[in-house]
């Protein structure tokens, strides 16, 4: 008998019929003899609908109250799934984040899990019950207020529970069959991956692969929780995220996949005085506006000139805020201009094997060049190469890299509709 | 500076515009220098919508999960009102029932308040914040599960908070201007009551007056909380519910008002053996089916006959269940027949003065007789007379009694649309 944590996204529970289907799968897992803990996101568009309602009432609702509001969505969906399980003759109990002992920091809207005290869940499991936990939410350790975990919060809830309960596996149910070597909507012969290491999955998620959220993968890696990404609509085994790149055999493929991200913008600051501390002042300005920057490129100073250019990418939604913050310090820092470009995309190649194989970067650049794609900014890690290009060339870039590294599979991937939180 | 508890029903917060109006009233009260604690019901039809969703999933959803589901409605409305208050520049914090220290029994769907520990609310008030509490809900003292308080739960929440915080007044906002001498939709010149005692209000509420829920009035009387019933849509002072019938001056009017109830049914059991214990066995049968009976009439045994008839009224929704339970014990108890009559109505006259004034019953019966209304069953308390009649004669009965006791006011009452929980 194993302990299995399952997480279902909002599209998997968007109406009564889907909720019943999810309940059937949960009860089946229980009947196979496993203890089951389930984390469910809010139904379909609930979170968006509640957010709209809040905006009708206040242009800037207080974050504490937004958390009180939004967490109602997961309460509803979890209670309904519990009812559906009961209707199938099994015992189920739903718990809120605070009842589940999910203690967090007090940063409303983007809290971090500090500690998980799953005593009540353990008791319910010992009594033979299936346990449901409202995802995305917790309780501030300090203020005892209700908090939310931000984007991907339900995935993080599931992984944190799996870690605290020492579960055998944490299954993340979604609308795709697992992790692929590229987005099957762009690359029809994208190969299904049976396994992927935590590090590679982290790079993929950080570079735009939407199947898993970065924080959930980070959490899984830290606590060594095996993650299995599966589809809600079939019985395929999905993709196992586990293990370290240090452990994988050398004969494994060099490259794992191609990720892409359409959600970034690019800011270039020209004529920055080439004196110590200038870059720091620029990035401090952006950080003070609570914006995370992604790739950074500082060009070398032109000979004879005492100025340089700094380029960085950032979430496109933060673009206007960053520009406004930088304009305010323009004269103080003494740079020439802030240029904002929202028309960029990022394509990344990820693979644990590239550490030991020279020539990957060369092949990468040749493939893009052959496809007529100009590289605007490049950035690498030990197991990843990312570049910024024009957003309208992004799909071509993904296909060119996927082909150049021969990542294609034997069959076409099935694409299902809808996504969860 | 006073401490004011305000309760708003579901129709007062049914959309963003109404929520803003409610917030304005709350902020106005705060600006007058009072500490304000607010209890809000779920928005408009939220509770019905969630109940429908549950029925789609399970014909008999577990009560624990229904409570988890339904309490989300008050979370949503309270958070939204808090946002609307913030938008007006005042500070507000919303709390769930358990955060507000509302400890209850563990009977899901119909829990009783055991204790209120308002420490967090007191702290928030001391910090100058307006406090919002999700109505209708609490936490089981034993199991720590979320519970609901049943019908009128938000009124009860407000009164219990007022008692625990030793509030100066508990204002119940509704869609009428207060308590009237009869339902203004039936009696256009029904008189507005400026004050009414707890005992009279209890009798009115028990006899069908919908403006306040019985449990809330009982709670208010026990803890001596002054209740003020006011209209959400105007500034009129409403009706004050306070004081005991022992304290009211003798020159006060004898009769307070006429209440009516259209929600009852009547069961007659014929040919019951006239031996000790038979009535007890019948009422135990009904009680075991968890049905509350209202008025009871046992006719005297006919001379020479060893059998009697027993008649009682009960909520019409419980009628079929009661009949089925009684049919099952028919041969065991040995009665002749169970006759169920759903076409009945109950009209009641309430007044603290009737204790000291003989002749009220006679006038009562004459008035109904003159209006051609047959009395089927009669029942009295110290300050109330109730009778069962045909439901299609109920409005005539209300008008006849209202006129006979000269209860009419000088102006016509305004009837607003909608009701809250």
B72: nearest CB among A20, A58, A76: A76
How far is B120 from chain A, CA to nearest CA, in Å?
A: 10
- What tokens were used for A152? 């991907």
DSSP-based three-state secondary structure for A37: strand
**HEC letters along chain B:** CCEEEEEECHHHHCCHHHHHHHHHHHHHHHHCCCEEEEEECCCCCHHHHHHHHHHHHCCCCCHHHHHHHHHHHHHHHHHHHHHHHHHCCCCEEEECCCCCCEEECCCCCCCCEEEECCHHHHHHHHCCCEEEEECCEEEECCCCCEEECCCCHHHHHHHHHHHHCCCCEEEEEECCCCCECCCCCCCCCECECCEECHHHHHHHHHCCCCCCCHHHHHHHHHHCCCEEEEECCCCCCCEEECCCCCCCCCCCCCCCEEEEECCEEEEEEEEEECCCCHHHHHHHHHHHCCCCCCCEEECCCCCCCCEEEEEEEEEHHHHHHHHHHHHHCHHHHCCCEEEEECCEEEEEEECHHHHHCCCHHHHHHHHHHHCCCCCCEEEEECCEEEEEEEHHHHHHHHHHHHHHCCCECCCCCCCCCCCCC
| A235 vs A215: CA distance, rounded Å | 26
Residue showing tokens 């501390």? A277
Assigned token pair, A77: 């969906």
Interchain CB distance below 8 Å, B62 and A86: yes
Contacts with B408 (C-beta within 8 Å, 6 or more apart), sequence order: B181, B187, B189, B190, B191, B402
Q: Which residues of B touch A14 (CB under 8 A)?
A: none
Distance from CA of A102 to the nearest CA of B (A): 16
- Nearest-CA residue of chain B relative to A84? B57
The H-assigned helical ranges of B91-191 are: 119-126, 153-164
Contact A75 B75 (CB under 8 A): yes
Interface mutation target, options A58, A117, A131, chain B, most CBs of B under 10 Å: A58
User: What separation, in Å, do the N-terminal and C-terminal C-alpha atoms of chain A show?
Assistant: 30
Residues for chain A: how many in total? 421
Cα nearest neighbour of B78 on chain A: A69
A150-178: pLDDT as tens digits: 888 999 999 999 999 999 999 999 988 99
- The structure tokens listed for A364 are 């990468």
Mutation site for B-interface testing, chosen from A21, A52, A78, A79 by largest number of B Cβ within 10 Å: A79
Which residues, in sequence order, are CB contacts of B95 under 8 Å at separation 6+?
B78, B120, B121, B124, B131, B132, B133, B134
pLDDT at A1 over 50: yes
Distance CA B293, CA B283 (A): 8
Q: How many CB pairs under 8 A join A and B?
A: 114
Substitution target from B77, B83, B101, B132 for chain A, most A beta carbons within 10 A? B83
- Give the pLDDT of residue B304: 67
Which pLDDT band holds residue A417 (cuts at 50, 70, 90)? very low
Q: How many CB atoms lie within 10 A of CB B299?
A: 12
> What pLDDT is attached to residue A161?
98
Closest alpha carbon within chain B to A133: B68
Convert the pLDDT of each residue in B60-76 to its tens digit: 999 999 999 999 999 99
Find out whether A3 and A165 touch, Cβ atoms under 8 Å.
Answer: yes
pLDDT of res. B292: 85
Lookup: tokens for A147: 């908090």
Per-residue confidence at A419, pLDDT binned at 50, 70, 90? very low
Q: Looking at residue B418, what is its pLDDT?
A: 40
**In the numeric block, which tokens belong to residue A255?**
């490259």
Residue with tokens 């009842």: A99
Domains (range + CATH), chain B: 3-250 (3.40.1160.10)
Residue listed under structure tokens 């407000």: B158
Contact A62 B75 (CB under 8 A): no
pLDDT at B301: 62
Taking 70 as the pLDDT cut, the residues of chain B under it are 249-252, 299-304, 411-421
Q: Which residues have CB under 8 Å from B313's CB, separation 6+? A: B264, B265, B266, B267, B293, B294, B295, B344, B346, B377, B388
pTM, to two decimals: 0.85
pLDDT in tens, B155-195: 999 999 999 999 999 999 998 899 999 999 999 999 999 99
Tokens (6 digits) for A49: 């609908």
Task: Give chain A's mean pLDDT.
Answer: 91
Asked whether the ipTM of the predicted complex exceeds the cut of 0.95, the reply is: no
Report CA dihedral (B201, B207, B211, B216) to the nearest 10 degrees: 60
- In this prediction, residue B253 carries a pLDDT of 74
Q: How far is A379 from chain B (nearest CA, A)?
A: 43
CA-based diameter of chain A, in Å?
80
Q: Chain A within 8 Å of B77 (Cβ-Cβ)?
A: no
Hey, are the CB atoms on A76 and B144 less than 8 Å from each other?
A: no
pLDDT number for residue A418: 40
Q: What is the pLDDT of residue B250?
A: 62
Residue A308, pLDDT score: 84
Are residues A144 and B99, on separate chains, in Cβ contact within 8 Å?
yes
Chain B residues 90-119 with CB within 8 Å of chain A: 92-94, 96, 99
Cβ within 8 Å, pair B146-A87:
no
- Nearest chain A residue to B62 by CA: give it: A83
Q: Is B268 helix (H, G, I), strand (E, B) or coil?
A: strand
On chain B, the residues whose CB falls within 8 A of the CB of A130 are: none
User: B87 and chain A: CB distance < 8 Å anywhere?
Assistant: yes
Note whether B83 contacts A146, CB cutoff 8 Å.
no
Beta bridge partners of B40: B8, B134
Mean pLDDT score, A314-324: 93
């Amino acid at each position: 008998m194993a302990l299995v944590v399952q997480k279902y996204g909002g599209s998997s529970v968007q109406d009564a019929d889907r909720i019943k289907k999810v309940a059937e799968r949960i009860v089946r897992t229980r009947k196979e003899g496993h203890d089951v803990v389930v984390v469910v996101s809010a139904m379909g568009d609930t979170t968006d609908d509640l957010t709209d309602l809040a905006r009708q009432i206040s242009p800037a609702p207080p974050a504490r109250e937004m958390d009180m509001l939004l967490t109602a969505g997961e309460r509803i969906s979890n209670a309904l799934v519990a009812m559906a399980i009961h209707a199938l003759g099994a015992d189920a109990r739903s718990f809120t984040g605070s009842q589940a002992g999910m203690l967090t920091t007090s940063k409303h809207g983007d809290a971090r899990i500090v500690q998980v005290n799953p005593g009540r869940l353990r008791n319910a499991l010992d009594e033979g019950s299936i346990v449901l936990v409202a995802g995305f939410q917790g309780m501030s350790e300090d203020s005892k207020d209700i908090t939310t975990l931000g984007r991907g919060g339900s995935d993080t809830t599931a992984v944190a529970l799996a870690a605290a309960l020492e579960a055998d596996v944490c299954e993340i149910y979604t609308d795709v069959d697992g992790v692929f070597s590229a987005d099957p909507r762009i690359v029809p012969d994208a190969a299904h991956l049976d396994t992927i290491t935590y590090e590679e999955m982290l790079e993929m998620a950080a570079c735009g692969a939407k199947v898993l959220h970065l924080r959930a993968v980070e959490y899984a890696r830290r606590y060594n929780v095996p993650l299995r990404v599966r589809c809600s609509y079939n019985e395929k085994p999905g993709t196992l995220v586990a293990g370290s790149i240090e452990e994988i055999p050398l004969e494994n493929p060099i490259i794992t996949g191609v990720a892409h991200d359409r959600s970034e913008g690019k800011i270039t600051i020209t004529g920055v005085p080439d004196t110590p501390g200038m870059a720091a002042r620029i990035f401090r300005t952006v950080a003070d506006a609570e914006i995370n920057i992604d790739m950074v490129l500082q060009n070398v100073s032109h000979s004879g000139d005492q100025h340089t250019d700094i380029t960085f990418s950032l979430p496109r939604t933060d673009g206007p805020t960053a520009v406004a913050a930088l304009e305010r310090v323009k004269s103080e820092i003494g740079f020439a201009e802030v240029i904002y470009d929202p028309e960029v995309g990022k394509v990344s190649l990820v693979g644990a094997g590239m550490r030991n194989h020279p020539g990957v970067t060369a092949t990468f650049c040749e493939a893009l060049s052959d496809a007529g794609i100009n590289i605007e900014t490049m950035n690498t890690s030990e197991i990843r190469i990312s570049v910024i290009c024009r957003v309208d060339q992004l799909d071509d870039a993904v296909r060119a890299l996927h082909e150049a590294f021969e990542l294609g599979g034997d069959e076409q991937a099935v694409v299902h509709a809808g996504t969860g939180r």
